[in-house]
Chain A
């Protein structure tokens, strides 16, 4: 872990600084049919310097939680601090410290990749010259130099994801939120994004990653939490979660993260297979 991510705790020992900390975080949406409780009292602590995986089935509250942490959704009740800053109280300060790449690669299709990155740099307070230089660095980092001056509407899905990642890094954020960054990508593009995420993390950025791909969480994350129906139902390292399930169930072989997920969310392989068949039909 990064030395800068260590702070001295109340007992004089070194405790990791929290990149994300929530207490009793709640989000209600009003609808015609009454209130919908999308997130119901989430307590989370993500240490600085790692890659944190946030898993859950569709509609579990992953994206809603991320949108609250990134200032894009109001918080109904509870508190959230990101990079040490209160999200509800100082949203602009949080925005300066985070990078955001959401489910839809949020790009302006009528700009070129370079124009988009330069604009993003300007919006984070860089001078024109510095924004241009930073755009060049990032285009090299995500290997989009050849396509830099082409309009984004001509990019492939993988190129858009990489550009979206680059745009989230313009201001060298302390915490990077990635909401399902590989959904819809082919296997090769997915591996490229994984490598980018590891590289970003090695440079000292804490990564908060939501994903539905358990293999992705297993490959990338130091720690993870599983959310279901708006509540955290498991939290720990992938290894500790597997070990806990193996011990509790008395399994002969080490379970996979899929088994942990199915156990945590009360689903069974049969039911999941049924769900898939239903979708395919």
Chain B
């Protein structure tokens, strides 16, 4: 872990020195939160909408914005730059475990994800959104969002390593949008049409979104929360394994 931590600190310095790459991860999700709530809040008044659990529609929409914020994966573009510039080869020529090369950026992404998620939730609080599961729920909410950002960066890094192309890596990021919309994004799963409900049930992002939503709208409902954590742990492990394998076979 010493090597991964050293590389993680480097990636954090990189993020700190390129604020222009990080600011959109805050502003774009907030923009979508405002727009979605503005369009649908009157359709779902809190007084007559059971699934809002007494909160406004903004609380229902916040998980979508959190997931969007955690699904930029811009650090993968820095990896492409390193591949093109030769620094990635420099790292490969060191005797550190290949896992450390992968984990370095993911550790930094986890730290950035924690910061971005905490800021987004704290910005939302003055607008009548509360975290029903309390301070521990807040910590879990932020942690789950940050873990999803690690999964997503792992996916983006995989594209970067396979294609070694900034354009292809950027395009790969667009995969998230269908996944975000094949979820119970605007209403709970049981209110979706049957084809959409099947698609949402098959989509792992659904379980992350439902876990986040549960932490915001309800007291601890582990039946909703644990599947979200299970998804990020399984997908995270898969992404790390695929990244390491790709670097080991990198020619």
Could you list which residues of chain A lie within 8 angstroms of chain B, going by C-beta atoms? 70-74, 92-93, 95-96, 98, 100, 102-111, 115, 119-120, 122-125, 151, 167
Contacts and interface: CB of A to CB of B under 8 A. Distances in A.
A100 B92 CA distance: 10
B94 A95 contact: yes
B109 to A, nearest CB: 16
A92 B98 CA distance: 10
A120 B7 CA distance: 10
6 contacts: A72-B93, A95-B94, A108-B14, A108-B82, A108-B87, A151-B17
A104 B94 CA distance: 17
A71 B90 CA distance: 11
A125 B14 CA distance: 22
Contacts of B93: 70-72, 95, 98, 100
A99 to B, nearest CB: 8
Chain B interface secondary structure, helix, strand, loop or mixed? Answer: helix
B92 A110 contact: no
Contacts of A119: 6-7, 10
Interface of B: 2-3, 6-7, 10, 13-14, 17-18, 82, 85-96, 249, 251
Contacts of A71: 92-93
Contact of A123 (B17, B86, B91): B91
B208 to A, nearest CB: 31
B94 A120 contact: yes
Given A92-B95, A115-B10, A123-B6, 12 more contacts: A70-B93, A72-B89, A72-B93, A96-B95, A98-B93, A100-B89, A106-B88, A107-B90, A111-B13, A115-B13, A119-B10, A123-B7
B49 to A, nearest CB: 48
A106 B92 CA distance: 11
Contact of B86 (A73, A106, A110, A111): A106
B86 A104 contact: yes
A122 B3 contact: yes
A119 B96 CA distance: 12
A110 B2 contact: no
A74 B6 contact: no
Contact of B85 (A92, A106, A115): A106
B89 A74 contact: no
B3 A123 contact: yes
Contacts, number: 70
A124 B13 contact: no
A92 B94 CA distance: 8
Contacts of A96: 95
Contact of A110 (B17, B90, B94, B249): B17
Contacts of B6: 119, 122-123
A73 B89 CA distance: 10
A102 B89 CA distance: 9
Contacts of A111: 10, 13-14
A84 to B, nearest CB: 16
Contacts of A93: 95
B94 A123 contact: yes
Contacts of A107: 85-87, 90
A122 B85 contact: no
B85 A73 contact: no
A123 B3 CA distance: 6
A183 to B, nearest CB: 13
A229 B96 CA distance: 34
A104 B85 CA distance: 6
Contacts of B90: 100, 102, 106-107, 120, 167
Given A98-B93, A123-B6, A124-B95, A103 B86 contact: yes
A95 B251 contact: no
